[in-house]
Amino acid sequence: MATIDVDDGEAEMSVSQRIRWTVRGLRHVMLRQPASVKFIRPWLQTVWSSDSPLQRRHPWVTYPALSWLDQNVTSTMRVFEFGSGGSTLYFAERTAEVFSVEHDPEWHAAVCQALSAANLTNCHLQVTQATAAIPGAADPYAAERKPELGNRFEAYARSIDAHPDASFDLVVVDGWARLACIQHALPKVKPGGFLLLDNSEWPEFQAAHDWLWDYSGERFPGLGPFGAQPWETTVWRIDHPRALPAAA
């Protein structure tokens, strides 16, 4: 997913990019997902806005997945996030407690500032930076794609290990080394809780679908806020949490 660049020096390119995204998104909805017509207006508002997901205070997931969250997130939930941002404020406003791990110190500071400005005090944020990957080694904690290729996120994925098993009603995996994050997170989900994986259509994440085949999962493909093209978010209901094969 990509955000719109609205830098003054690139205004002309930005407008043409917005037009291309608009045409592409409208074509996708009309031809492939006519039921998602109701999401066109909010999507266009983000495409033609200079706001960010942090300013809008909502998760950077597809609109069908966001609709699911609106219907299922409750005030008693405890949430853990791999990756912070607008979702952190969204959950802080709607749930009892939010734990979030972030790898980027500058972004972490921006999220903390936004939480403070909104007077949201039920969040526990931590920064866990990446380390250099071992060249040529198969590493389950390695980043999947740019811009973090060459970095590994073991401490990041293991951050949830500090919590007891069956601690969270919802775990959101939308950061780096996502398969490793899922492996560490699954035992931490309460029975009947949920695990959310964003960009679940990526080939790199097919293993997650294989691991979680025996859980009730729902795929939410479609447009999402600030997205240049459609993608997919998947949510699994974890009725019987169990350990997965160890990441390492």
Lowest mean pLDDT among 21-30, 97-106, 159-168, 200-209: 21-30
pLDDT higher than 70, residue 21: no
Query: What residue spans define the domains of the chain?
Result: 51-238
CA distance 153 to 141: 5
User: Taking the model in full, what pTM does it have?
Assistant: 0.87
Per-residue pLDDT, 202: 96
- CATH architecture classification, 51-238: 3-Layer(aba) Sandwich (3.40)
Query: Who has greater pLDDT, 30 or 148?
Result: 148
Average pLDDT on 133-149 reads 88
CA separation, residue 217 to residues 56, 72, 174, 175, 236 (Å) = 27, 14, 17, 20, 4
User: Average pLDDT in the 1-28 region?
Assistant: 54
> How far apart (Å, rounded) are the C-alpha atoms in residues 181 and 171?
10
What pLDDT, on the 0 to 100 scale, is given for residue 9?
Answer: 34
User: Given this model, what pLDDT does residue 29 score?
Assistant: 63
Looking at the DSSP bridge assignments, the partners of residue 194 are 170, 237
Q: What are phi and psi of 171, to 5 degrees?
A: -120, 130
Low-confidence winner among 35-39, 165-169, 241-245 (lowest mean pLDDT): 35-39
- Residue 248 is predicted with a pLDDT of 52
